[in-house]
Chains A and B, each alone.
Chain A
């Protein structure tokens, strides 16, 4: 059977770069275009966000999957503002003292704006009470009543001791104070009887005196026993008097403030507690200012201490808020989200009270929306756990990290939790969403709505018109010079290149805006009022130039022969593969020599890259597919007696991806068929076990990479790149590449299967099996099969020889 080679045509220039169709664009500059009313190309995401923010119920928080530059944050802000402005203003939240348990401050919920009013009213009340209580205690009436009580206590003492003294005196005995107590002594002529005098008394008299003193001592003991009770009674009566006086002084003042807050039962309850506390601690209102007072460890002037004790810590004041709040947590640390309890250093110790409770972003967003960058919140220790706990329990419990982790067991505040009603919008990358979804069971419960932002959109006449309006919108938003029609077209074409697809347009508005700003810069540099296509082109080139140091160095080394790349002639078992590299925002391709050697073996294809752990898993997969392809296509009824080695020459780092599998196959085939391959062509594409060539990524960069290498050495007109036909739609090549192809100095060949690649690279027909089941002998496939057959026979012979030697 005779093999025939097919003539594979290079792609026409129009297939290499799809220009924007501007025929139905009626405008001259972007000034004539209207702003976009809404985000383009993100219908799915905006629908999801609208649903998420409108949906009530636990766990209906949002995760916005927004790849960098797609403007997720801006869209979320816009949609939230649109909704929040029509929603009710949430309540004010205040912390006040819990007089019974000061370490558990109470929370008060008040209608918006009333928090600060209550705080001011309380300040005024305490000032008034200070005056009123001091005045009450300084009044003559109070002094008289208190004196009466104290006097009655004294009189009771004196009466008891006086009576005792009189009874003693009646028996010629006196009550004396000794240095350590009290004693009775018999007297004679007003002086204590000496022992001699006492001994001279008749025995009966001595006994009488002894008995009398014993009785008096017993009486004294009873009096002494009663004294503490009398003191208690007196103190109680004085306290009752104080309470009565204070109550009279404060009752009217507190009644007045209660009247103002009569519709708020929680405030009334608090004011009752204030009243009881003021009455209980009335003495504190009498302390002269400047004296020290220590509630819960504080050292403060008496006045300041009172202000604190009866103060109102307005945690959230929504008095001037319009609509529901939208809070952006820029620094979502644990305390910034949940709130914190601050401390004051006093006398070497850290002390705190309810006035030092500070709000977090959740407090500020309560009743509205909280937007958080997912990566940032995940990077802050315990912030994610804290956020989830609040969302799961629907309340904000302010506690320090030490408390949360049970690291600190010293007494601290445990403020009453605040009910939480917030919609959290996490904005982050897709990867984070999928990781969280799979690894964090709470996540799917708490973030039920995902809004997935697209990075590109379909390219059609309609979307191209919208794209032009997007450019106009961005131009005005960033206050740039107007762009003319051709400039807009170039931006659009660059959008397709950014999308890596001639049929798509990138909607990473961040990148587009950057390009517009840079084009505007070049227009300004040239003194133009309008940005033209040339300015856009210059901005693109300048950007490329800024980031192409590595690309230039690689191409330089190829040109100088340090990196061995042939761009002319034919070589056996050697082919130009294409690699693509992304460094920062630069992405470029360059050729890499791939070589293959074969010998007798056991059917293995050794990928040297993989053997030294420089090959990634996808690369290894591509190589293993080659073995499958060989096994299925050639000598399916015999074992492969082949040992092949494949290597990416002069690569010193990891290689991954299967885009070189087609090139590797060609190198292997060349080595087996003993047919040299053209070196003026480079090839990219992955291959499956059936020999079909499949699409790969970075096709534009790869073609440009080989073009640059050839161009540096001078284009011969024979050079070109073989690409998968499935990648043709992705072509948006550089102007110079397109120009060279138009002039026939360079070519891009699309292939659908490896046979087409064999023919292009070898110039020989690939060959198909004839009716006899054999490939034509002079075809590439025929040569390969013949070689494999010979190897198989050699292997068989070799095996028999070994057997004979053993037997």
Chain B
């Protein structure tokens, strides 16, 4: 890898459902949109599966607090989804109040993942909460986020509960993935926070490999100042320790990297409070 391709972010899609994670994603996306002068498009999908469920004759839901079951009706579900959409819109209005870039909020009805994937085709970056309001979560990553990660080719910014797009930015570089895009994105995000140094985590079996990776990374970063830290494995424990030690706020990973599977990523998000950008 040599040279650095400047990532072009012209349109950002935010999957919004009023959950804390999705609102975090909205704020992060707004920050990127402001910095990159990109268009921000928020999409709230009224889940048709929920409407189908509510229309079934035996439909009922269990209250997670009291454990009691209560009947569901289509009208009630319609109302709930509208209210959720309204909250999402309020969050959107609040987050974009001072944003000069072009913004839009759209509500659609359908299946969430296909709707998001369809909308993602027109975006350069997809931002969403790690666990949404409809997800069945495993680890720190919900089912919607997993599906979107698995099926889109667009960079995905994932915000766990309580996280924000904040420095320091760390980029994971390993031998297999050739993390040029990740480094380029990392440097790009790092540019938003000039006072903070970029952290490059080199997944290397030994010092030689680490040096080689560093040389390559320096070539990609082309003069951007960075701090390099070599870690000997990309498992969740090791990576988690490195992230804590560096007090990392945002982690940039290549989706082609074999270092972290989606499962591991879920676990990592469950343990740490960092925003993750998959490129």
Contact = CB atoms under 8 A, between A and B. Distances in A.
A192 interface: yes
B61 A191 contact: no
Given A185-B49, A195-B57, A179 B81 contact: yes
Contact of A183 (B55, B60, B133, B271): B60
Given A158-B139, A210-B57, 6 more contacts: A176-B136, A178-B134, A181-B62, A214-B58, A217-B60, A224-B62
Contacts of A183: 53, 59-62, 72
Contacts of B270: 154
B261 interface: no
Contacts, number: 92
Q: Which secondary structure characterizes the binding site on chain A?
A: helix
12 contacts: A178-B77, A179-B84, A182-B61, A183-B60, A183-B62, A183-B72, A192-B53, A195-B52, A217-B69, A220-B67, A222-B67, A224-B64
A165 B136 contact: yes
Contacts of A257: none
A212 to B, nearest CB: 10
Interface of A: 140, 147, 154, 158, 161-162, 165, 174-183, 185-186, 191-195, 198, 209-210, 213-214, 217, 220-222, 224-225
A519 B109 CA distance: 114
A659 B79 CA distance: 111
Residue in A176, A209, A214, A221 whose Cβ sees the most chain B Cβ within 10 Å = A176
Contacts of A213: 58
Nearest to A179: B80
Contacts of A198: 56-57
A179 to B, nearest CB: 4
Interface string B51-89: 011011111111110011110100001001101100000
B271 A176 contact: no
B135 interface: yes
Given A182-B61, A185-B49, A195 B72 contact: no
Contacts of A220: 62, 67
Contact of A177 (B55, B63, B72, B135): B135
B138 A178 contact: no
A176 B59 contact: no
Contacts of B77: 178
Contacts of A193: 52, 56
Nearest to B142: A177
Contact of B56 (A178, A186, A221): A186
A195 B67 CA distance: 26
A224 B49 CA distance: 23
B106 interface: no
Residue in A158, A178, A182, A225 whose Cβ sees the most chain B Cβ within 10 Å = A178
B64 A194 contact: no
B242 interface: no
Residue in A174, A177, A186, A225 whose Cβ sees the most chain B Cβ within 10 Å = A177
B260 interface: no
Contacts of A177: 133-136
B111 interface: yes
Contacts of B80: 178-180
Contact of B67 (A140, A178, A185, A224): A224
Contacts of B64: 181-182, 224
Given A178-B72, A183-B59, A195-B56, A221 B49 contact: no
A225 B55 CA distance: 27
Interface of B: 49-50, 52-53, 55-64, 67-70, 72, 77, 80-81, 83-84, 111, 133-136, 138-139, 241, 270-271
Nearest to B50: A178
Contacts of B83: 179
Contacts of B72: 178, 183
A165 B136 CA distance: 9
Residue in B59, B67, B138, B139 whose Cβ sees the most chain A Cβ within 10 Å = B67
Contacts of B52: 185, 191-195
A192 B136 contact: no
Contacts of A224: 62, 64, 67
A174 B56 CA distance: 14
Contacts of A154: 139, 270
A252 B271 CA distance: 33
A176 B142 CA distance: 12
B49 A191 contact: yes
Contacts of B139: 154, 158
Contacts of B55: 194-195
B62 A185 contact: no
Contacts of A191: 49, 52, 111
B161 to A, nearest CB: 14
Contacts of B67: 220-222, 224-225
A191 B111 CA distance: 9
A176 B49 contact: yes
Contacts of A147: 271
A191 B50 CA distance: 10
Contacts of B134: 176-178
Contacts of B70: 181
A508 B63 CA distance: 94
A210 B53 CA distance: 12
A185 B138 contact: no
Contacts of A181: 61-64, 70
A180 B58 contact: no
B111 A185 contact: no
A141 to B, nearest CB: 13
Contact of B69 (A174, A221, A222, A225): A221
A222 B62 CA distance: 11
